[in-house]
A and B are shown apart, each in its own frame.
Chain A
Amino acid sequence: MFRVLARNRAIRRVAGMIGTLFGVAVFVFVMLRAIPGDQITAGLGTEAAALTPAQLAALERYYGLDQSLFTQFFSWLGNLFTGNLGFSARSQQSVLDMTLQSLPVTFELAVLSIVLALLLGVPLGMLAASRTNSPRDAVGQLVSLGGLSIPAFLLATTLLSVFAASFGFNPNGQGFASLLEDPLLNLQQMFLPALVLGFGIAAPILRTTRTAVLDVRSGDFVRTARAKGVPPGRLQVRHVLRNALVPILTMTGLQFGYLLGGAVVVEQIFSVPGVGRQVLLGIQQKEYAVVQSTVLVIALSFVLVNLLTDLLYRVVDPRVRS
């Protein structure tokens, strides 16, 4: 019975996902407690030292810090299953509500960044591969080198100051507009952060595209296609790019998952209220439940994106299907 279950690919996949998430939960839980200080010291600062033992005990009981680590861990985990992700004392909001607001923002930013990265990376990668060691290859290499080596914070602050100072354009200076309320302003506010993130991600996508295209192009079936008279344009799209798509997809999936973790620095610079900022503020305030639950949500999205990538393989590659 168990053997049959273990052979089933879907069941194994789900078991693997649960294992990953549990591992993440344990890791975050332990790491948070390894940082000196807790929610009491974070809230009161140095005044925490003036607390009487009785007051301290009362506060610890209030925050649940008097429980054993074991109890703390499993009561948090148990609450997750009832939909209770915890409560943030700082923002007087449940973590669930906070995440429901911040996750769509991060998701939108990630999608926009990936789209920009693909628009930049794939054509440039194909261009670079079309003639290696030529000027166009050099352009591609230069862009990818820039994308890899210019730190996001530098590009972000430069863009922000150039646009704000020279053109008086700073949509991020206003309060954040959600996509549903004010799509126009929202897209303006999202444009620069998506550009910064997309530029960084375009680099690995460009390189992957270039390598994959070069690899596929030297394949026997491409020569065979040429020998039957397939014209160059059709050859590039139908035979070369189509086959290069698998590694590009892998890279894109990885980067997308990474973006869902919240680009903390970029979100901070452009005042985008995404999950990255939520985790950062949570850590600063030692709000354990906020950090733990948010990280777990991020891990879950990462795992789901991976799953989605694998499902996309099945669409792209018939060999995976069978």
Chain B
Amino acid sequence: MTSRSPILAIRDLSVAFRTGKQDVTVVRNVSIDVMPGQTVAVVGESGSGKSTTAAAINRLLPDGGRVTGGQVLFEGRDLAGVSEREMTAIRGPGIALVPQDPMSNLNPLMRIGDQVGEALEVHGVASGRAARERVTELLDMVGIPDPARRINQYPHEFSGGMRQRVLIAMGLACRPKLLIADEPTSALDVTVQRRILDRLAELTADMGTAVFLITHDLALAAERADVVAVMYQGEIVETGPAAELLTAPAHDYTRRLLRAVPSLSSARLTDPPQATDPSVRQADPPRDAGPSQDASPPPVLRAEPTRDTEPTRETRDAEPTRQTRDAGQTPPAGAAREADDLVVIEDLRKVFPIRGSTAEVTAVDAVSFGIPRGRTVSIVGESGSGKSTTANLLLGLDDVTSGRIRFDGADVTSLGRRELFAFRRRVQPVFQNPYASLDPRYTVAKSIAEPLRVHRVGTAATRRKAVAELLDQVSLPASTAERLPHELSGGQRQRVAIARALALSPELVVLDEAVSALDVLVQAQILELLAALQRELGLSYLFISHDLAVVRMISHSVHVMRHGRIVESGTASEIFDRPSHDYTRELLAAIPGTAQRA
């Protein structure tokens, strides 16, 4: 780079956490230089030590954490030797922070203006009316409309994106020399993320602020940073200019990470649609068969309703493909298959009352689509688009306001308790958070067998056998059965959740952001598992996600939702290669890395 000295120099930094009686080193011999005005990104999966590294810079390590070796030099000064009082003075004008979660990082009881103003006051930059004026300017600068009014509001009156802008305003209030941005936008919708990152880049460029960007998103890092450092298990495995790192990764882990990142050029995991898809307005022959795709669909059998009478995998494969038609093979040309769809949703509408008033909000409005058997139908949209509400309506977890949901020919919107119980056996959900969706006190075996117990399927012995088979199906070792959820990783838990969903041999699995909480490598594995299970068991999926790249990988047909309505429908290739609606184009353009690949 230049001959200037770095504003931040991390030298051989090691950080350990005390758990019980022993130290666990989570950051090992990390060295990074940040030049004035430069943006350096640290990329890694959860638990890689990237956030801990960031916390060690401004000495805000969580309880139990301490620096065990190395130095953090800020403007040439070793911060370890700085008194707490001096450190307090450095935080803000010297090193500022934009934290990750906009929902939990603002004091809920303090007005927005006071919180931003506090950053100015404690450093003596401005106070009273001058501070207020400066805060209004700052909020205006980060793109908050009507700042003079909003400065008197509280955090709960702001949306997630607006709160993140407030946090940026707070971080930049004292024109810091270095800004630590710890996953500054990962909690936000893609279109919002893009706008906020653009604004952040402009502002830091104006102020000459160097940025230390922490992210799990390699594409985002490459797009936004001058230098990218890849972190893995507490160590930096590779550092280099962003462009170089993407095109010629030197380390094996970087290569794996790059391959796993879902992008609009990732290989498709599902068979491309082979005929007119009834759930799609117009369809044309697929053009983008993924390279690894099997040309002929494998033989598929719809699973029997009860597991204890279910054939083993060997017999399954041996049996003739009784219902192959359902599983996505080419139907007779031109045949209208709509009546044959597993799920047909017509003119669905859901209205929620707003608490404490007589007003109402329409969450789902005039939504119609079908789910053919053995196919994956996806709904993409940002938060508040109504995609999860649609999923909940289909699962029978919420009552529809109007419209019809037909499942296998029968209307399920007006089922009695008994019928609903029977219906639920055929439709199973997998939710987003693999930490919250498993009972922490149930062993894996107990969790997986629970649907069988509830529906009184089989005996204790057959259920045990079923659990073993299911674990095998989701590629978990049999020893997992006796584990508790906290002993498993996020990916393993999500496999358990999928096994539980499969326990009753459902025909439809509703996957509501089922891979969104997972690291990219794990995400890729789970997506492959889902695609394999679909081929093997002939499952139909309703896949709900905000992540277009993931949707593209797994879907046969895609519906884009916004404000409760479907704005565009099509096959995966139609939507992603030839989007016709402006909103779809905006969504696609917001995916990090799109600019470079386009």
Contacts and interface: CB of A to CB of B under 8 A. Distances in A.
A61 interface: no
Contacts of B174: 229
Contacts of B92: 227-229
Contacts of A230: 88, 118, 122
A224 B97 contact: yes
B122 A234 contact: yes
A232 B88 CA distance: 9
Contacts of A318: 108-109, 154, 156
Interface in A205-258: 218-221, 223-232, 234, 238-239, 242-243
Question: Could you say which of A219, A223, A224, A230 has the most chain B C-beta atoms within 10 Å of its C-beta?
Answer: A224
Contacts of A231: 85, 88, 122
A319 interface: yes
B437 interface: no
B400 to A, nearest CB: 21
A322 interface: yes
Given A4-B358, A9-B356, A234-B122, A227 B99 contact: yes
Contact of B173 (A218, A228, A242): A228
A317 interface: yes
A224 B167 contact: yes
Nearest to B171: A228
Given A227-B60, A229-B91, A234-B122, A317 B358 contact: no
A322 B157 contact: yes
A280 to B, nearest CB: 43
Given A7-B356, A227-B58, A228-B119, A220 B171 contact: no
Interface string B80-109: 000011001111110011011100111111
A319 B154 contact: yes
A316 interface: yes
Given A229-B89, A322-B157, A316 B173 contact: no
Contacts of A224: 97, 99, 105-106, 167, 170
A317 B108 contact: yes
B422 interface: no
B93 A229 contact: yes
Nearest to B103: A220
B123 interface: yes
Contacts of B109: 242-243, 316-318
B178 to A, nearest CB: 12
Question: Could you say which of B109, B123, B167 has the most chain A C-beta atoms within 10 Å of its C-beta?
Answer: B109
B97 A227 contact: yes
Interface in B109-143: 109-110, 118-119, 122-123
A227 B96 contact: yes
Contact of B156 (A4, A226, A232, A322): A322
26 contacts: A4-B358, A219-B104, A220-B100, A221-B104, A221-B105, A221-B108, A224-B99, A224-B105, A224-B170, A225-B118, A226-B91, A227-B60, A227-B96, A227-B99, A228-B96, A228-B122, A229-B90, A231-B85, A231-B88, A232-B88, A242-B107, A242-B110, A317-B108, A318-B108, A318-B109, A318-B156
Interface of A: 4, 7, 9, 218-221, 223-232, 234, 238-239, 242-243, 316-319, 322
Interface of B: 58, 60, 63, 84-85, 88-93, 96-97, 99-101, 104-110, 118-119, 122-123, 154, 156-157, 167, 170-171, 173-174, 180, 356, 358
Given A220-B100, A227-B96, 14 more contacts: A221-B105, A224-B105, A226-B91, A227-B92, A227-B99, A228-B91, A228-B173, A229-B119, A231-B88, A231-B122, A238-B110, A317-B109, A319-B154, A322-B156
Q: 6 smallest A-B Cβ distances: which pairs? A: A229-B92, A227-B97, A220-B104, A229-B91, A318-B154, A228-B119
